Amino acid sequence: MQLRLSRLLTRSAWLNVHTYLALSLGLVFSIIGLTGSLCIYSEELDTLFNPDLYIEATQQPLQSPDQIIAAVRAAHPNRHGVWTLEMPRTPHSPITAWFENPAESTGAFYAPLVVAVHPYTGKVLSSRFWGQTLTTYITDLHTQLLLDGFGRQIMAVLAWLLCVSVCSGLYLWWPKNSHVLAAFSVRHDQGLCRFIFDLHRLLGVFSATLLLILAFTGFHLAYPPLLEYLTSAEGMGHGDEGPTVRSSAIPNDRPIKLQEAVLIARAPFPSSEVRRISTPRGETGTYRINLRQRDEINQHHPMTTVWIDRWSGQIRDVQNPQKFSSGQRFTTWMWPLHTGEAYGNTGKFLWFLGGLSPAFLYVSGLWHWLYRRGAVQDRPVDIAALGQHLLATVQNAYHLSQKAWIYLKPKLQKLLNYLNTINK
C-alpha cells in the first residue's frame, strides 16, 4: 500500500496529472477565465454597447422610489408581483428594476426582466430579459456554461480540478534549495520554446494564489449549500434574499410609501447607503430595504437588510453584518472575493488580469507539449526584435480594433435593437 502511494506522489505522476488536466480542460479553464474578466466590467460593457443607458450628470434631484416604481408599473401594467429597485452606484448609471419571474421566462433557470430607468426623469430606457443581452450571455457562460443548473454543478467540479491543476503546477515548479533563483529566471538564450516555457512557469507561480482564491470562491458560489451548512449561514449565500418576513398588522387603506419605508429602514443605520428596495409579496408581504454600511466588504451585494411592515410602518426584522458570526461573515465574503470588488477598483483590475492568465498558461503549456513531441520547431530569440515585433503587434491590434469597432458598432446596435424589440 505504501509503495503504491509513493508511486502516486512521484514527480512523473504529478506531471501526468498536470499535463492531462491541461490538455483536456485547459481550453475550458481559458474560456471561464476570459468570461470572468469580462464579467468584472459587465456594467461598463453594457453601457458601451447601449449608449442610451449612460446618464448625463445633472443638478436635478433623483426621482423618489415611488415615482420610479410607478413609471416601471406603467410600462409593465400586467406584471403583478415583487419589483426590486437597484439604486445607481455612480451618477452616470440608471436605476435597475428587477422582475424575477416574468411569464415569458417560465421554465427558464434564471431569466428575470431587467428594466433600466432614468434616475432623474423616471423615463424607462430599456426592458430586457436576462440572457438575451451580450453581457448577461457572457455571465451565463461564465457561471453555468449555458447549461443552467447542471452547468452550475459542472462548474463546481471544474473549480476543484483547477485547484488540482494549480497545485500540481506549483509542485512541479518547486525549486530545490540550491536552485531558488533559477526557478524565477526567464532564459532567452536557449531558444523560443525555453523562453515561452519559463514565462509559463513564472506566470503560473505569480498567478497561483489568485487562481486558487477564484477556484475556491467559485466552487462555493456554484454550490453554496456546503459552505452555508459548515458555517451555519443558511440563506446568506450570494443571491439569497434572507428570511421570509411577514406583516403582522391588519391590512388598511393607508399603506406606507416606498420612500417612507426607506426613511424608517435607515433609522438604525443613518450613515448607510440605500442599495435595493423590494416591494411586498402579497397582502402579508413586507418591504425589504437593502443598505450598505461603510465598512462592508460587499460593494454590489451588501448584507445590511431591514424589513418594514407596509401596513404599520414598523420594523419587522433587521440583518446587521456587524453582528454576524465569523462563519457567516466568511460566507458573505465569497462574492466580493471572487469578483475582486473587496479591494476596490485596483482589486477588480488585478482580478481582470488574473482571469486572462489561464488562457496564456494554456497556450504556452500547449506550445511546450507540442515542442516536446516534435510538432513545432524551436528558433532563436532576439529580444530587441521581439520587443519591436510586440510593439508593432500592439499598434496594429489597436488600429485594427478601431476599424473593427467602427464597422461593428452599427451592426451590434442593430442586433441589440432587434433583441429589445423581441423582448417588448
Low-confidence ranges of the chain (pLDDT < 50): 1-3
- Grid cell digits, residue 4: 503504491
Q: Phi-psi category of 320—alpha, beta or left, where left has phi over 0 and alpha has psi -120 to 50?
A: beta
Residue 62 makes CB contacts below 8 A (sequence gap 6+) with: 119, 120
In degrees, to the nearest 5, what angle opens at C-alpha 184 toward C-alphas 181 and 186? Answer: 115
Q: Which residue is it, cell 512521484?
A: 10
pTM: 0.86
| H-only helix segments in 178-325 | 180-183, 192-222, 224-230, 258-266
**pLDDT digits 0-9 by tens, 348-393:** 999 999 999 999 999 999 999 998 888 888 888 766 666 676 677 7
**Cα end-to-end distance, the chain, whole Å:** 66
Inter-residue contact 332 to 316 (CB < 8 Å): no
DSSP one-letter code for 114: E
Inter-residue contact 32 to 358 (CB < 8 Å): yes
Q: Which of 93, 94, 73, 95 minimizes the C-alpha distance to 83?
A: 73
* Cα–Cα dist 349/140, whole Å: 21
Angle, helices 192-222 vs 344-372, to 10°: value is 130
Q: For residue 374, report the phi and psi dihedrals to the nearest 5 degrees.
A: 75, 15
Would you state the pLDDT for residue 243?
84
Distance (Å) of CA 68 to CA 86, 99, 244: 11, 14, 25
